[in-house]
Chains A and B, each alone.
Chain A
Amino acid sequence: MRDRQNPVRRQSLTGTRIRERRLALAMRQSDLAQAVDISASYLNLIEHNKRKIGGKLVLDLARALKVEPSRLTEGMDATLSDMLQAAARDTARSFGPPAETDRIDELAGRFPGWTGLIGEQQKRIAALEAAVEGLQDRLSHDPVLAESMHEVLSTVAAIRSTSDILVREPDLDAQWRGRFHRNLHEEAERLSASATALLAHFEGQGARAETLSTPQEQVEAVFELAGHHFPEIEAGGAAAIPEVLGRMVTLADDDARDLAARHLARYAADAARLPLGEVLAAAAEVDFDPQALMPLAGGDAALLLRRLAALPQGGAQAVPGFGLATCDASGALIFRRRINAFSIPRYGSGCPLWPLYRALGRPMVPDSAVLDLPDGSRFRAWAVCQPIGPAGFGAEPVMEATMLLRALPDDAPASPGAVPVGPGCALCPREACAARRAGGRFG
């Protein structure tokens, strides 16, 4: 258990830290005792945690040991401790002997430089993992990139097959040979254009890639890492936000931290209005059906949808996987919890047939539909559009739409009213869709 969660142990380890620091400086016990004007036997009792100390003696010892007093009394920084714990956990399967996590304080006391280095490297690894995830997401949802890649692959396929025929068919008649040469020329021209367009796209993306990811991507990555559930806030309310935020070490800039703080504040407000124990117990009784839970939320459907998406996975109570998307009145996606097989693009727009957008046209009217995706998977969606923030006479409300998603099992009965939707026009194969925007087919 971490020291900050156990003040008794924290105090009891002060002596150990003094000893570790003294040994790290190769200082004899008698020399340190003399430096702070106490007997060596008394220092020995202190170092073995048999005497409590405080006040001036701590300050004197810290000065003699060339460390901040808090380093002796409180041990290492809790965030650094968390990062070391995470480093030990992440490498447990790929690195020989297990890390001695019960001796992290000792490590920090004896080797503060190395400890800081491990912590910084763990922070860097986490940031890079978040960046990789963001870039993978970009590859999946960037319509220009998807279109370009498909164009390149199709062209290469045509060139490969055609050139193979020309090489392997020596008795090819002149008409076929001429046709295949012409096709090769066409495809070579096409490949040249595709590759140039792809390169231009990457060059345009380069600056963004080097900054790892946008604040929104960073925040979504840390929320994904937490499973969109924060036990400290559930238990301690908004007061726990700084602690949770402090652990989000991969947030690279102030914009990302501010955005995360705003989302956590909303989380805390939601948890206060609809406590975890209450919503979890009630939801389990009705198979997590939002419609049946509406009275619990006092009619605030958006609150209910957000709370269902924040239920803890892997606990004693089996909770289905939920996805969540929210957008502002312009349709811009401002938050999402991803769910397998349902693509919610970060770049560009989603499918105009999603209930998320339908709800924008009917504020305050909860909506629900079964969604039929092009790959054959089906989802139940619940959506609502509600004002956010304080209302005021004569003030225009700020509207926000929220959509909760839950996958339907493969053997679920057919839904006659299912809505055929897609991941957004840029990536959707439904060419005949009436809601389709111009352009953007790939395959």
Chain B
Amino acid sequence: MGRRVLLVEDEINIFEAISFLLSRDGWEVSGHGNGATALDEIARLDPDVLVLDVMLPGRSGLDILRDLRKQPETADLPVLMLTAKGQSKDRDLALALGANAYLTKPFSNSEMVETLNRVATGGQKAGT
């Protein structure tokens, strides 16, 4: 079984592009587009790494991240935040809440794949 990534992203065309890239890179990709039920989906799929948008229908990605870090079983789950919000304060907040990396849209495909692999293998916190 390959490495599993859950992509919580409500923009379907962004999801399809990332899904293709990560599949090519050997990842087993699942997707979910609703913030309100994202925690349940994470618990059900138990992914190796999570790609999480900030602004989601139902619930903010930051709220989801905060809850993930409170739960022992997901406290160490590697999380890459992916969002259109590019202000430094948003990035700082995401990293302070426990995000392992932060990328802003629009992003480069190669950078996204590299960052995800680094996050999955326990690389240092980073963000653009």
Is A77 on the interface with B (CB-CB < 8 A)?
no
Give chain A residues whose Cβ lies under 8 Å from the Cβ of B56.
Answer: 429, 431, 443
- In the complex, are the beta carbons of A432 and B58 less than 8 A apart? yes
Q: Pick the contact of A429 from B17, B60, B108, B112 — CB < 8 Å? A: B60
- Residue of B with least CB distance to A375: B93
B97 smallest CB distance to A (angstroms): 6
Is A186 on the interface with B (CB-CB < 8 A)?
yes
- Residue of B with least CB distance to A176: B20
Give chain A residues whose Cβ lies under 8 Å from the Cβ of B54.
Answer: 429, 443
> Which of A78-86, A105-113, A154-162, A387-395 lines the interface with chain B?
A154-162
- Residue of A with least CB distance to B14: A158
Given contacts A165-B21, A180-B17, contact A429 B55 (CB under 8 A): yes
Given contacts A374-B63, A431-B35, contact A162 B58 (CB under 8 A): no
A257 smallest CB distance to B (angstroms): 34
A183 to B66, CA, bound (A): 33
- Residue of A with least CB distance to B109: A164
- In the complex, are the beta carbons of B97 and A431 less than 8 A apart? no
Give chain A residues whose Cβ lies under 8 Å from the Cβ of B55.
Answer: 150, 429, 441-443
A153 to B17, CA, bound (A): 15
- In the complex, are the beta carbons of A183 and B97 less than 8 A apart? no
Q: How many residues of A contact B (CB 8 A)?
A: 31
- In the complex, are the beta carbons of B21 and A443 less than 8 A apart? no
Is B42 on the interface with A (CB-CB < 8 A)?
no
- In the complex, are the beta carbons of B17 and A158 less than 8 A apart? yes
As a 0/1 sequence over residues 71 to 113 of chain B, the CB contacts with chain A under 8 angstroms (1 = contact) are: 0000000000001111000100100010000000111110010
Give chain B residues whose Cβ lies under 8 Å from the Cβ of A416.
Answer: none
Is B40 on the interface with A (CB-CB < 8 A)?
no
- In the complex, are the beta carbons of B57 and A161 less than 8 A apart? no
A191 smallest CB distance to B (angstroms): 11
- In the complex, are the beta carbons of B17 and A154 less than 8 A apart? no
Q: Pick the contact of B62 from A157, A176, A375 — CB < 8 Å? A: A375
User: DSSP class of A's interface residues: helix, strand, loop or mixed?
Assistant: helix
- In the complex, are the beta carbons of B36 and A432 less than 8 A apart? yes
Q: How many residues of B contact A (CB 8 A)?
A: 35
Give chain B residues whose Cβ lies under 8 Å from the Cβ of A157.
Answer: 11, 14, 84, 105-107
B7 smallest CB distance to A (angstroms): 12
Is B59 on the interface with A (CB-CB < 8 A)?
yes
Give chain B residues whose Cβ lies under 8 Å from the Cβ of A374.
Answer: 60, 62-63
- Residue of B with least CB distance to A377: B93
A132 to B85, CA, bound (A): 21
- Residue of B with least CB distance to A441: B57
The listed residue with most A CB atoms (<10 A of its CB), out of B53, B62, B63, B84, is B84
Is B13 on the interface with A (CB-CB < 8 A)?
yes
Q: Pick the contact of A376 from B58, B62, B86 — CB < 8 Å? A: B62
- In the complex, are the beta carbons of A161 and B14 less than 8 A apart? yes
Give chain A residues whose Cβ lies under 8 Å from the Cβ of B112.
Answer: 161
A157 to B93, CA, bound (A): 22
- Residue of B with least CB distance to A149: B84
Is B18 on the interface with A (CB-CB < 8 A)?
yes
- In the complex, are the beta carbons of A161 and B53 less than 8 A apart? no
Is A430 on the interface with B (CB-CB < 8 A)?
yes
Is B16 on the interface with A (CB-CB < 8 A)?
yes
- Residue of B with least CB distance to A172: B20
Give chain A residues whose Cβ lies under 8 Å from the Cβ of B58.
Answer: 431-432
Give chain B residues whose Cβ lies under 8 Å from the Cβ of A159.
Answer: 106
As a 0/1 sequence over residues 113 to 128 of chain B, the CB contacts with chain A under 8 angstroms (1 = contact) are: 0000000000000000
Is A179 on the interface with B (CB-CB < 8 A)?
yes
Give chain B residues whose Cβ lies under 8 Å from the Cβ of A169.
Answer: 24
- In the complex, are the beta carbons of B36 and A431 less than 8 A apart? yes
A125 smallest CB distance to B (angstroms): 26
Q: Pick the contact of B85 from A180, A430, A443 — CB < 8 Å? A: A443
- In the complex, are the beta carbons of A187 and B66 less than 8 A apart? no
Give chain A residues whose Cβ lies under 8 Å from the Cβ of B60.
Answer: 374, 429-430, 443
Give chain A residues whose Cβ lies under 8 Å from the Cβ of B108.
Answer: 160, 164
Give chain B residues whose Cβ lies under 8 Å from the Cβ of A161.
Answer: 14, 17-18, 21, 106-107, 109, 112
Give chain A residues whose Cβ lies under 8 Å from the Cβ of B86.
Answer: 153
Give chain B residues whose Cβ lies under 8 Å from the Cβ of A183.
Answer: 13, 16-17
A210 smallest CB distance to B (angstroms): 27
- Residue of A with least CB distance to B60: A429
- In the complex, are the beta carbons of B84 and A154 less than 8 A apart? yes
Q: Pick the contact of A165 from B11, B36, B57, B109 — CB < 8 Å? A: B109
- In the complex, are the beta carbons of A376 and B105 less than 8 A apart? no
Q: A153-B105, A375-B62, A431-B58 are in contact. List 9 more A-B contacts (CB 8 A).
A: A153-B106, A157-B11, A157-B84, A161-B106, A161-B109, A374-B62, A374-B63, A429-B55, A429-B56
Q: Which 8 residue pairs are nearest across A and B when measured between Cβ atoms?
A: A443-B55, A157-B105, A429-B60, A161-B17, A157-B106, A153-B84, A158-B13, A183-B13
